């Protein structure tokens, strides 16, 4: 019988509230596989998925690898824990001309053969059955795992597939991600979701200065994030009038800093309305003018709720590596400009002094512009 064994990670460390995390993880697993028929059973320290259409194994595994809280999985053959049953399965493996190692986990002490002795027996059987097979205890091509459980069954597998790790989604509150069309913000949202945070997103546009293609790009990014988040709500808000007023009335070098301050104010109001307790940005220290220590301090000063910056110590190549792994990179590099490129100054201020920022900001009607932008809100739900 083919089954999929799921192993969880940090959940194992939880104490009296472990049941909450496990129950949430199970709900997330079921949601990720909602289009398939299957059975899910708890074992000691892991879960077993069975009764699924084996022709869909690849698709099911792909979905499971994106469930936060799962550490790894294996496609295994399940048999009753009798030595001859295990030997029959091992003889059907494809180990011709391969190096191998046998690893037995004898969790059930009533199994009549000790682990080391059983490793030796199975190794000899493999050598006699498969031409060109060789033992390699240190760096084998295939590790044959024999997991003899207390429930009377043994699971035989030859591959361990890495999953997303982290904490189960929806176990750490909610955050609002400032989602641009760039490389960084989807990665930031991914990392916060990996810590269990439910993620909603806010996207600012400057139509007609930015195109409908730029909007579609962000929706496509959100769909890719949905592979990990299950679903995501996006609040789409225009900052066109804000940018026009800053451009008209304020010193051009302060354009980006003033716009970022307005975005943070808007994001905090939207976060409060949707029940989010923090904002999330893709900022990396020193990467651009708006991400210096002084600029970050200036934008921080206009909001009261926490701002999570999971990429603050990453360099660009590290961020790109993760973006490629979660499959958002190729969308992020599409050449459709976002609102931060509109009215871009030649010499943006990198170390803004707060008194000068306040002086420039006094030249616009902050509250009126905030209300006007919030009135443009459009909500898009992506499942």
Query: Where along the chain do its domains lie?
Result: 2-162, 174-382
The predicted structure's pLDDT at residue 336: 74
| Mean pLDDT (whole number) for 151-157 | 95
Confidence of residue 338 (pLDDT cuts 50, 70, 90): low
The predicted structure's pLDDT at residue 208: 87
| Mean pLDDT (whole number) for 204-216 | 88
Number of neighbouring beta carbons within 10 Å of residue 79: 17
Domain 2-162 has CATH 3.30.2130.30: yes
Question: Is the pLDDT confidence value at 37 over 70?
Answer: yes
The predicted structure's pLDDT at residue 341: 64
- 2's tokens: 């083919």
The predicted structure's pLDDT at residue 164: 95
The predicted structure's pLDDT at residue 342: 65
- Strands 46-50 and 2-8 turn out to be antiparallel
Confidence of residue 43 (pLDDT cuts 50, 70, 90): confident
Report which of 40, 73, 37 is spatially closest to residue 55, judged by C-alpha positions: 37
Return d(Cα 149, Cα 151) in angstroms, integer: 5
Correct CATH for 174-382 of 2.40.50.100, 3.90.180.10, 3.40.190.10, 3.40.50.620:
3.40.50.620
Q: Do domains 2-162 and 174-382 have the same CATH topology?
A: no
Question: Is the pLDDT confidence value at 126 over 80?
Answer: yes
Q: Evaluate if pTM is beyond 0.95.
A: no
Report which of 310, 179, 159, 273 is spatially closest to residue 232, judged by C-alpha positions: 179
Per-residue pLDDT reduced to its tens digit, 159-175: 999 999 999 999 999 99
Report which of residues 349 and 5 the model is more confident about.
Answer: 5
Residue 208, preceding peptide bond in cis (omega within 30° of 0): yes
Mean pLDDT of the chain: 94
């Amino acid at each position: 019988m083919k089954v999929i064994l799921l192993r969880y990670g940090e959940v194992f460390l939880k104490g009296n509230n472990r049941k909450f995390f496990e129950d949430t993880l199970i709900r997330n697993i079921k949601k990720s596989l909602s289009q398939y028929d299957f059975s899910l059973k708890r074992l000691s320290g892991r879960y077993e998925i069975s009764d699924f259409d084996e022709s869909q194994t690849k698709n099911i595994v792909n979905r499971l690898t994106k469930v936060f809280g799962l550490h790894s999985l294996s496609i295994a053959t399940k048999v009753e824990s009798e030595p001859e049953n295990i030997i029959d399965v091992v003889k059907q493996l494809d180990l011709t001309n391969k190096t191998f190692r046998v690893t037995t986990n004898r969790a059930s002490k009533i199994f009549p053969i000790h682990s080391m002795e059983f490793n030796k027996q199975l190794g000899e059987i493999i050598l006699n059955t498969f031409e060109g097979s060789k033992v390699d205890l240190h760096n084998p091509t295939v590790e044959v795992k024999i997991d003899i459980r207390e429930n009377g069954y043994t699971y035989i597998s030859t591959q361990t597939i890495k999953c997303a790790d982290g904490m189960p989604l929806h176990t750490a509150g909610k955050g609002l991600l400032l989602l641009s069309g760039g490389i960084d913000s989807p990665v930031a949202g991914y990392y916060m979701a990996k810590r269990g945070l439910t993620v909603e997103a806010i996207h600012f546009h400057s139509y007609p200065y930015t195109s409908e293609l730029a909007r579609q790009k962000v929706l496509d990014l959100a769909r890719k994030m949905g592979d990990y988040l299950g679903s995501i709500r996006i609040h789409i808000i225009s900052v066109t009038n804000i940018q026009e007023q800053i451009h008209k009335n304020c010193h051009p070098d302060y354009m980006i800093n003033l716009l970022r301050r307005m975005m943070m104010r808007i994001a905090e109001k939207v976060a409060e309305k949707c029940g989010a307790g923090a904002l999330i940005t893709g900022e990396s220290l020193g990467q651009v003018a708006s991400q210096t220590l002084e600029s970050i301090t200036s934008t921080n000063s206009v909001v009261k709720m926490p701002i999570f910056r999971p990429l603050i110590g990453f360099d660009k190549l590290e961020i790109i590596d993760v973006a490629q792994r979660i499959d958002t990179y190729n969308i992020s590099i599409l050449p459709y400009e976002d609102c931060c490129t509109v009215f871009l100054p030649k010499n943006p201020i990198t170390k803004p002094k707060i008194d000068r920022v306040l002086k420039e900001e006094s030249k616009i009607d902050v509250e009126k512009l905030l209300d006007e932008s919030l009135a443009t809100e459009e909500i898009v739900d992506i499942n």
